[in-house]
């Protein structure tokens, strides 16, 4: 084996992986070492800085438990989650764009009837959400599953406020009708902070970054034979659309939540007057058109 040297360090370490049985594992580890060594070389990392980095990663791991994933958060604020998501779900502009899953899909959304109100405590600005699930040729997809979850009017998810919000507040699993349409009642979500009381919060503070995400609703839409999409619907008048802490905003996912002040329409929607409304069509690719992937 070639002995270690500053100039050839990455090559020497990569050579140690030559016997890796899984070729993909060997390629990924080799690239990782190449970039890590280039990073150390470029920054000429001091021993104190190396120790600080190890300490940061140690504390990041120690912060993780069943309800908190600090490493995912770290990946999010460094833009790695969005890059992985974007690379793996290139849509070619023919399907609804995807964005990060986020850390709050930890409970299953309860199946609900079309039109039901997912705001179990009815706190916040009432809102009617309508949309249609379609395939790439515009064909309506009946029986598509539309999984929705969102923060409340204070910017918190139900799982962040047990005992304050009703269980399964602002979550619902809807099935589209024969025309692929779905609709439900909710409240307008507020912008919300990512958890910033751990090492990732320290990183944000040290770099002068805020922890906020713009107001959004989460969607996972699935239909048999089509490629699922995990995405958000962003509220167009929310702060932080141009500085999302996890880089999740895509222009095509921003919608106006129009104010409707009309007694008859409010009565028809089953909401108090006035209310807000938004329309969000979701286009899915055929599974066969997704590069052979059936995920």
Chain residues that interact with Fe ion, rule: CB under 5 A: 102
Measured from the CB atom, the residue of 14 and 253 that comes closer to Fe ion is: 253
Cβ of residue 104: shortest distance to Fe ion, in angstroms?
6
Measured from the CB atom, the residue of 194 and 223 that comes closer to Fe ion is: 194
Residue 182's CB is within 10 A of a number of other CB atoms, namely 25
Measured from the CB atom, the residue of 157 and 226 that comes closer to Fe ion is: 157
Cβ of residue 185: shortest distance to Fe ion, in angstroms?
19
Cβ of residue 102: shortest distance to Fe ion, in angstroms?
4
Q: Using alpha carbons, select from 231, 235, 115, 234 the residue that is nearest to residue 183.
A: 115
Measured from the CB atom, the residue of 213 and 276 that comes closer to Fe ion is: 213
Cβ of residue 194: shortest distance to Fe ion, in angstroms?
9
CB 256 within 8 A of CB 195: no
Measured from the CB atom, the residue of 102 and 135 that comes closer to Fe ion is: 102
- The CA distance from 234 to 187, in Å, is 13
Measured from the CB atom, the residue of 115 and 155 that comes closer to Fe ion is: 155
- The CA distance from 220 to 214, in Å, is 19
Cβ of residue 101: shortest distance to Fe ion, in angstroms?
9
Q: What angle do CA 11, 15, 16 make, to 5 degrees?
A: 125
Measured from the CB atom, the residue of 219 and 226 that comes closer to Fe ion is: 219
CB 213 within 8 A of CB 244: yes
CB 129 within 8 A of CB 186: yes
- The CA distance from 247 to 195, in Å, is 16
Residues 6+ apart with CB under 8 A from 197: none
Q: What angle do CA 250, 252, 254 make, to 5 degrees?
A: 80
120-to-116, 165, 178, 187 alpha-carbon distances in Å? 10, 8, 27, 10
DSSP letter string, 31-45: HHHHHHHHHHHHHT-
Which residue's beta carbon is nearest to the bound Fe ion? 102
Cβ of residue 213: shortest distance to Fe ion, in angstroms?
6
Strand locations in 35-144 (E): 126-134
Cβ of residue 108: shortest distance to Fe ion, in angstroms?
16
Phi–psi pair at 129, nearest 5 degrees: -110, 130
Cβ of residue 74: shortest distance to Fe ion, in angstroms?
17
Measured from the CB atom, the residue of 156 and 184 that comes closer to Fe ion is: 156
């Amino acid at each position: 084996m070639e002995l270690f040297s500053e100039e050839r360090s990455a090559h020497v370490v990569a050579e140690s992986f030559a016997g890796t049985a899984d070729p993909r594992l060997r390629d990924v580890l080799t690239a990782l070492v190449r970039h890590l060594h280039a990073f150390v070389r470029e920054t000429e990392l001091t021993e104190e800085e190396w120790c600080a980095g190890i300490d940061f990663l140690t504390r990041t791991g120690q912060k993780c438990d069943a309800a908190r994933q600090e490493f995912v958060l770290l990946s999010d604020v460094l833009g790695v989650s969005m890059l992985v998501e974007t690379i793996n779900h290139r849509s070619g502009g023919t399907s609804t764009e995807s964005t990060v899953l986020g850390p709050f899909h930890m409970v299953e959304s309860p199946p609900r009837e079309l039109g039901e109100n997912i705001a179990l405590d009815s706190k916040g600005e009432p809102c009617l959400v309508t949309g249609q699930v379609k395939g790439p040729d515009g064909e309506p997809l009946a029986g598509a599953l539309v999984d929705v979850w969102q923060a409340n009017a204070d910017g918190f998810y139900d799982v962040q406020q047990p005992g304050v919000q009703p269980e399964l507040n602002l979550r619902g699993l809807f099935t589209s009708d024969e025309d692929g349409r779905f609709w439900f009642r909710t409240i307008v979500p507020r912008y919300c902070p990512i958890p910033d009381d751990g090492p990732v919060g320290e990183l944000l503070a040290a770099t002068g970054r805020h922890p906020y995400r713009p107001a959004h609703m989460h969607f996972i839409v699935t239909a048999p034979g089509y490629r699922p999409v995990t995405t958000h619907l962003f509220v167009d008048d929310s702060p932080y659309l141009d500085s999302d802490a996890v880089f999740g905003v895509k222009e095509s996912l921003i919608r106006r939540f129009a104010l409707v002040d009309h007694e008859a329409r409010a009565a028809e929607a089953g909401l108090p007057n006035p209310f807000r409304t938004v329309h969000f069509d979701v286009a899915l690719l055929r599974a066969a058109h997704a590069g052979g992937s059936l995920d």
